[in-house]
Chain A
Amino acid sequence: MTNHYIDLKNSDCILIMGGNPAENHPIAFKWILRAKDRGATLIHVDPRFTRTSARCDHHVPLRSGTDIAFLGGMIKHIIDNNMIQEEYVKYYTNASFIVSPGYAFNDGLFSGYDPEKRKYSKDTWTTEKDEAGIPIRDYTLQDPRCVYQMLKKHYERYTLDKVSSITGVSKDNLLKVYNLYGATGARDKAGTECYALGWTHHTVGSQNIRTMAIIQLLLGNMGIAGGGINALRGEPNVQGSTDHAILYNILPGYLKMPTGPIQTLAAYNEKYTSKSADPMSANWYQNYPKYAVSFLKAVWGDKATPENDFGYSWLPKLDEGQATSIMHTFDDMYAGKVKGFFAYGSNVAVSNPNTTKVRKALQKLEWMVNVNIFDNETAMFWKGPGVDPKNVDTEVFLLPAAASMEKEGSQSNSGRWVQWRYKAAEPPGDALSDGDISMRIMDEIRALYAKEGGACPEPILNLKWDYRDGLNRFDVPKVAKWINGQATQDFVIEDLVAGTKEVYKKGDPIPSFAKLQANGTTSAGNWLMTGSFDQKGENKMMKRGKDDPTGLGLFPDWSFAWPLNRRIIYNRASCDLNGKPYDPKRNILEWKGDKWVGDVPDGPWPPMANTEKGKLPFIMKADGVGSIFGPGMAEGPFPEHYEPLEGPLAKNPLGGQLLNPAVKRFKSDLDVIANADEKFPYVCTSYSCTEHWCTGFTRWQPWLLEAMPEAYLEMSEQLAEKLGIKNGEKIKVSALRGQVECVAMVTKRMTPFEIEGKTVHQVGMPFNYGWRFPEGAADASANYLTNAIGCPNTFCPEYKAFMVNVSKA
């Protein structure tokens, strides 16, 4: 979230699209309803009428996978009706930049496309700079090649008729939402968007979110109270696990993963240190080497020295362009290339797409370690439906883990609040915390390498791995401090201009990432968390102060929020060029005299009216402004509607490319698809429900299981009548990749769509179920139906749009 949960109450208009917070984030929904109590308008755009829709002012059903068409139409409407926050768009975004002449868009393709590689060269996706390297701007926004005019041109095709025909949303409903939401472009109005997996789970997932980000920039809604883009994430510490990069493509703190061509630390820092010639840009990522070196010092401790590039060569490196997301892992496992597998706190046999392929892949493993608090379909894949254990050679370990209330540590919510939890009881029996388990596994591995040697033992033996307390248990506070960072030797930061001197003794916690060093005198496991301790060692994550000085719910003394306890990111954009809030009613920050007052500002610099020292507000971007033109994306600088991998249409009504041109398919015999195929005529989506969580460790809890005992498919009365299916009947749901049997839930909550002149039925089912528990349960994992294909930026699978058939069981 750019903002945080309580801040939802400050909004005037909340667009909930790609989520169902009333059921999946019920306590967050309380704050959405507080906004409604204040008079805010709530809009829910979703294929299904849910309990969220029931409490919103408007429910607008749309066909799964057509969000960009819907939002692209909104961009056109906002521009055509001049609903933008003009000053914000001119000065705080790249709308005024001039797009390079080589850039083009034609019939669904941007310039630079290589159809063989299904990849773009981004050479032409640039904006023009003057001789000094400063972006050329046209603040009148009239230049035909300025970003604003190019944006207008790009979305000319997204007419009400076209958008309605693609999405199945009536023109009346489109206009209603566009006008209500567009009205938040007024300076004293705030609009926010809440999404969840309903947006990320598409082959255009990242661009779904980016389209909304463009709208928020046009309306001046980023950086303000009651605004922003707010991902309501689905797991308790998924913010933290992402920040700490249990991911192939980044290192902790969103540092870049090194690749083969980048052989030295100098080359790595050179490549990823952001450069800007614009004196108005703070260009925060010019500090990149400080965070990279401090990270390496944290990983290898004293073994990281300037002489050995701080251990840079010990980090594994992918080849240029190589991807190893979990879908790639299963593709390689199915091909017999991945032989060993650790699965901590997870149940991949239910959670990952194309379950048929996942379960066959698991059978090819030589060994697997699953760490869990309950047995599950992954741990017992060797005994699953249709599997003969005699034919499975895998050695499997199921290690008993502690539950969250049985261990201490910090956990980061979606609003970046990093809170501390305390241990309330010992874990049962032989169970241990995941921290203790990973410590012990690594201890044994290190002992073996110390004794026997082996392939490249240095990174294993040089790893700093002393995170134990006096009783040899995983020392959580010690790790937390180490992540925050500390001085590795005595040093002084001297500011000659200000005449100040800061003295750090070896071992002192570093209180701000602005103090980290690139020469090895500091270590920090994750620079974003630097500041979670103060220099005296106070753990700010434990703070439970309840003061709310702005009255807007920032609660600055409750826990620690990264970065640097900032509660609303990009908050300097809430103020005009003189540093005065655009909306005095929602004053989270104001320039008073010679300093910012309110939330922790995005940097100390004065507002932009100070032409000498002022800085642009989007400090993490090299050019200091919000990117309406976004060349970082895999499939184009402006979002474009493409159909899902499996959909009802044979042709994209908006252009010559049916599928996102940057998407790559897996090629195994089990990666089969049926697009616009009459054998699989119904659009299906998958979701969770209030009583279950993800792959269903809630199924092992009788209270929750009783409330939601078995898998079901929601279908409209019209489709049920057509198929002669009655509510509560057993049905079969099939895709080309697999099928499940479940109960028919015939409901008014689903309605058919009119798409390109034809009736298209949409159905949906929860993904929380599996065969392992309750005993005798059907093997009704919804992911038997889904495709292993993902957004080319993130490889989030397309769980939310695929094609099925439905029949009586």
Chain B
Amino acid sequence: MSGAIGSGVALSSLGLDLTALKAHAAELSKMDRIRTAKQSISICCYCSVGCNVICSTDRLTGKIFNIEGDPDMPINEGSLCAKGAGLFGLTEANEHRLKKVLYRAPKSDKWEEKDWDWSLKRIARLFKDTRDKDFITHNAKGELVNRVESIGHYGSSNIGNEECWTLSVACRAMGLVHIDHQARV
């Protein structure tokens, strides 16, 4: 699928009225916005081919309004598959994106919105209580092992290398051994 088709779909999803009378004006408006857009290279977040995409961000609103294949990238040469061509559906324009920290209390049947500060403090408290209670300094053979087996970590292969590395070493510093991610599934 070409970038041109991708941008057309993205525009119509913004609610532009493309009736015959207004089509010309809409096209002009599109040209202006593309001309004034900030273009950033990103990488598709689905399979592992690593197709590059060009994200166009409206300089006025800071919002992405179009994503299309990057013709300079030697592998995808501007083309994208159905999922990649639909990347716009992952942006803020998707009404289902999570925007708040959600918390579910024990026995509750609903989410509550919380702020980061409260949530991070609560997570740290729960983590520390579990770790301190279950920490294994020495195993049955008396070997120094410094680990905790009652906390697991999973993910992710859909985040950047720098995020992966910091998570990987943070898990080790915490003493976790149940460490895994999608490479195995």
| In the complex, chain A residues whose CB is within 8 Å of the CB of B161 | 237, 240, 243-244, 409-412, 418, 480, 483, 529
From known contacts A435-B166, A439-B166, infer whether A449 and B128 are also in contact, taking CB-CB under 8 Å.
Answer: yes
Q: How far in angstroms is the closest Cβ of chain B from A420?
A: 8
- Cβ A340 vs Cβ B172 within 8 A: no
5 sampled A-B residue pairs with Cβ under 8 A: A314-B146, A319-B145, A322-B177, A400-B99, A424-B55
Q: Which 8 A-B pairs have the closest CB atoms?
A: A429-B99, A409-B160, A345-B156, A413-B50, A701-B89, A424-B55, A444-B124, A455-B135
The reply on B86 being an interface residue by CB < 8 A is yes
- Cβ B9 vs Cβ A703 within 8 A: yes
Interface string of A16-50 (1 = CB under 8 A from B): 00000000111110110000000000000000000
- Cβ A445 vs Cβ B174 within 8 A: yes
- Cβ A438 vs Cβ B163 within 8 A: yes
> How long is the Cα–Cα vector from A373 to B9 in the complex, in angstroms?
22
The reply on A723 being an interface residue by CB < 8 A is no
- Cβ A422 vs Cβ B40 within 8 A: yes
- Cβ B75 vs Cβ A247 within 8 A: no
> How long is the Cα–Cα vector from A414 to B82 in the complex, in angstroms?
20
The reply on A317 being an interface residue by CB < 8 A is yes
Residue of B nearest to A22 (CB): B81
Which B residues form the contact surface with A (CB < 8 A)? 9, 38, 40-53, 55, 57, 62-64, 67, 72-76, 79-84, 86-87, 89-92, 94, 96-109, 111, 115-116, 119-128, 130-132, 134-135, 137, 139-141, 143-185
Number of A residues near B (Cβ < 8 Å) is 173
- Cβ B162 vs Cβ A479 within 8 A: yes
Q: Which positions 371-410 of chain A face chain B at CB distance < 8 Å?
A: 371-375, 379, 382-383, 389-401, 403-410
- Cβ B155 vs Cβ A344 within 8 A: yes
The reply on A318 being an interface residue by CB < 8 A is yes
- Cβ A27 vs Cβ B155 within 8 A: no
The reply on A691 being an interface residue by CB < 8 A is yes
Q: How far in angstroms is the closest Cβ of chain B from A400?
A: 4
From known contacts A317-B143, A395-B106, infer whether A340 and B165 are also in contact, taking CB-CB under 8 Å.
Answer: no
Of the candidates A299, A329, A396, A430, the one whose C-beta lies within 8 Å of that of B169 is A299
* Count: A-B pairs, CB below 8 Å: 496
The reply on A558 being an interface residue by CB < 8 A is yes
> How long is the Cα–Cα vector from A438 to B131 in the complex, in angstroms?
17
Of the candidates A241, A333, A419, A704, the one whose C-beta lies within 8 Å of that of B157 is A241
Of the candidates A391, A440, A704, A795, the one whose C-beta lies within 8 Å of that of B184 is A795
From known contacts A247-B184, A701-B89, infer whether A707 and B43 are also in contact, taking CB-CB under 8 Å.
Answer: no
> How long is the Cα–Cα vector from A329 to B155 in the complex, in angstroms?
13
- Cβ B83 vs Cβ A372 within 8 A: no
| In the complex, chain B residues whose CB is within 8 Å of the CB of A415 | 50
> How long is the Cα–Cα vector from A548 to B74 in the complex, in angstroms?
10
| In the complex, chain A residues whose CB is within 8 Å of the CB of B152 | 326, 329, 333, 338, 340-342
- Cβ B183 vs Cβ A242 within 8 A: yes
From known contacts A329-B178, A375-B96, infer whether A434 and B167 are also in contact, taking CB-CB under 8 Å.
Answer: yes
The reply on A766 being an interface residue by CB < 8 A is no
Residue of A nearest to B38 (CB): A424
- Cβ B101 vs Cβ A399 within 8 A: yes
- Cβ A394 vs Cβ B47 within 8 A: no
| In the complex, chain B residues whose CB is within 8 Å of the CB of A447 | 124
The reply on A467 being an interface residue by CB < 8 A is yes
- Cβ B97 vs Cβ A393 within 8 A: no
- Cβ B126 vs Cβ A366 within 8 A: yes
Interface string of A339-358 (1 = CB under 8 A from B): 11111111010011100000
Of the candidates B150, B156, B181, the one whose C-beta lies within 8 Å of that of A337 is B150
| In the complex, chain B residues whose CB is within 8 Å of the CB of A434 | 156, 159-160, 163, 167
> How long is the Cα–Cα vector from A405 to B74 in the complex, in angstroms?
20
The reply on A271 being an interface residue by CB < 8 A is no
Of the candidates B45, B57, B185, the one whose C-beta lies within 8 Å of that of A424 is B57
Interface centre among B139, B152, B168 (most CB of A within 10 A): B152
The reply on A700 being an interface residue by CB < 8 A is yes
Interface string of A584-622 (1 = CB under 8 A from B): 000000000000000000000000000000000000000
Of A85-93, A144-152, A456-464, A491-499, which stretch is located at the interface?
A456-464
Interface centre among A232, A246, A463 (most CB of B within 10 A): A246
